[in-house]
Amino acid sequence: MQTVKMVVTGPFSSGKTQFISTVSEIDVVRTERKISSEAEKIKESTTVAMDFGRITVDAELVLYLFGTPGQRRFDFMWEILSEGMLGFVVMVDSSRPETFREAKSILETFRAYAPTPYVVAANKQDHPEAWAPEDLRIALRLDPNVKLLPCVATNRESVKAVLLELLYSILAEMEA
């Protein structure tokens, strides 16, 4: 059996766990803890080690989705998680501009860890305060050739579209 891995990363509360849950065929293996920091108390618990989801392709091939911990004090996990990945998704909460700078920093760090293809998912596009993807592109200073995709992590079609765009990028790089 061959296994391949994709990583879903992004700042705290950007929707990584939800993204994986929406497409995983198993209940996502979560390693969550109650939030300890006052500043980060916008949700009850957060991922401190990693999320783990699975999509079986056939009897010979399985895709694993790993979600990174969102809090920077667990960033020692990033390098470990990035090992051997096929590509990665950077999740950004489009409604929280205060996290954009961190998202950019995470993106740059992951790119440095592994020069694999990646896409940026502008998550929570259904939120009334969400920034439009084209504004997010400017805010994150993304090159025009970087794929920035609107996303609603609770919507399966939306998550599928992000994963497919990442796979198209991976394919394109193989053909280049």
Residues between 24 and 53 that touch another protein (CB under 8 A): none
At position 112, the amino acid (one-letter code) is A
- 57 interacts with another protein by CB under 8 A: yes
Rounded Cα–Cα distance for residues 50 and 88 (Å): 14
Pick from 28, 39, 98: nearest CA to 65? 28
Could you write out the DSSP letters of every residue in 71-94?
A: SGGGTHHHHHHHTT-SEEEEEEET
CA 40 distance to own-chain centroid: 19
- 72 interacts with another protein by CB under 8 A: yes
* Closer Cβ to another protein, 130 or 150, answer by number: 150
- String marking each residue 80-119 x if it binds another protein according to CB under 8 A: --xxxxx--------------xx--x--xx-xxxxxx---
* Closer Cβ to another protein, 8 or 23, answer by number: 23
Q: Measured at the alpha carbon of residue 59, what is the angle toward residues 18 and 66, in degrees to the nearest 5?
A: 25
* Closer Cβ to another protein, 114 or 119, answer by number: 114
- String marking each residue 131-160 x if it binds another protein according to CB under 8 A: ----------x-x------------x---x
Burial of 69 (0-12, 13-18, 19+ CB in 10 A): buried
Tell me how far CA of residue 155 lies from CA of 121, 124, 133, 148, 164, in angstroms.
Answer: 13, 10, 17, 17, 14
The tokens describing 81, both together, are 């998680």
User: Does residue 67 contact residue 20 with C-beta atoms inside 8 Å?
Assistant: yes
Number of residues forming the site for another protein (CB under 8 A): 40
Instruction: Tell me how far, at minimum, the Cβ of 6 lies from another protein, in Å.
Output: 9
Q: Provide the binding-site residues for another protein, judged by CB under 8 A.
A: 2, 4, 23, 55-58, 61, 63, 72, 75, 79, 82-86, 101-102, 105, 108-109, 111-116, 141, 143, 156, 160, 163-164, 167-168, 170-171, 174-175
